[in-house]
Amino acid sequence: MNRQEAMPGGIGQARLLGRGVLVLLAVAYLGLFLVLPLLTVFAQALVKGLPAYFHALVEGDALAAMRMTLTVAAISVPLNLAFGLAAAWLISKYDFRGKGFLLTLIDLPFAVSPVIAGLIYVLVFGARGWLGPWLGAHDYKVIFAMPGMVLATTFVTFPFIARELIPLMQAQGRDDEEAALSLGAGGLRTFWMVTLPNVRYGLLYGILLCNARAMGEFGAVSVVSGHIRGETNTLPLHVEILYNEYNFVGAFATASLLALLALVTLGLKTLLERRQPELRGQRTRRRRRN
């Protein structure tokens, strides 16, 4: 009897011990592979003081890299926004042949290496590519110029918005849209007044992730940019160049901007994740009242 009474307490202590070990392992893992590198970036960026840090950020090539990064993101994110909304609407609201194939195509950038994606664009639009001679004859430059960087970034980042919206729209079903249509609303009005408000937080979440990936993309952009200093360098490429030149303060100072972008993205992501359950709770309460 005493042995049986002692079993639950022993099992409970073992579970608590196991839980504590797992928590310590998780914290140690995060500290070693996430927190420590992040602190190292800021420590190396500030190793020579704030004047050297800010001088590295306002240097001409650094400002050009910032402008190019913002320009590429400002073009590729709206393109992915339009595609993501259209693809999510089509897949979640309609049944058609080839639906599974379309989903596979959307997931393709997750399976293909960004470097391979960049090489594909070089083979298509490069000087010796399929369209290269025609582009050269008409004085259109894609590879080693901003258009190629936008194409590569758009390809790498286009699943993010669509993949956030598709499950959300599928979970919501078609009842709200069908009710709006039955009351006389047109398709476009139904989209703006019913569908889009229902997915606004998921949409913002996808835009946030897409923008963060677009600004931090390295592999595909590195292949198609040509690394032309002051012209086709983005922030990640500028970090690589400075590091290879042993300009560690400049490299880590520029990298700190990308780290700050990651932290801001993480904070906004957490905020949106908290906001969406509240919205669902409000919908549930409204339906109960009705």
Q: What's the angle, vertex CA 217, arms to CA 214 and CA 218, rounded to 5?
A: 160
CA 75 to mean position of chain CA atoms: 14
51-90 residue pLDDT tens: 999 999 999 999 999 999 999 999 999 999 999 999 998 8
d(C-alpha 190, C-alpha 178), whole Å: 9
Give the DSSP H or E segment for 153.
helix 146-157
**Could you tell me where the DSSP H helices lie in 158-247?**
159-172, 175-182, 187-190, 196-198, 200-216, 219-225, 235-244
The pLDDT assigned to 290 comes to 45
Helices H / strands E in the chain, number of each = 17, 0
| Digitized pLDDT (tens) for each residue of the chain, 290 residues in all | 444 444 455 677 888 888 888 999 999 999 998 899 999 999 999 999 999 999 999 999 999 999 999 999 999 999 999 999 999 988 988 888 888 899 999 999 999 999 999 999 999 998 888 998 999 888 899 999 999 999 999 999 989 999 989 988 888 877 777 787 787 777 777 778 888 888 888 898 899 999 999 999 999 999 999 888 889 999 999 999 999 999 999 999 999 999 999 888 888 888 877 766 544 444 444 344 44
The pLDDT assigned to 250 comes to 93
The pLDDT assigned to 74 comes to 95
Of 203, 180, 170, 183, the closest CA to residue 279 belongs to 203
Name the amino acid, one letter, at 135.
Answer: L
d(C-alpha 70, C-alpha 22), whole Å: 41
The pLDDT assigned to 13 comes to 80
The pLDDT assigned to 18 comes to 81
Name the amino acid, one letter, at 240.
Answer: E
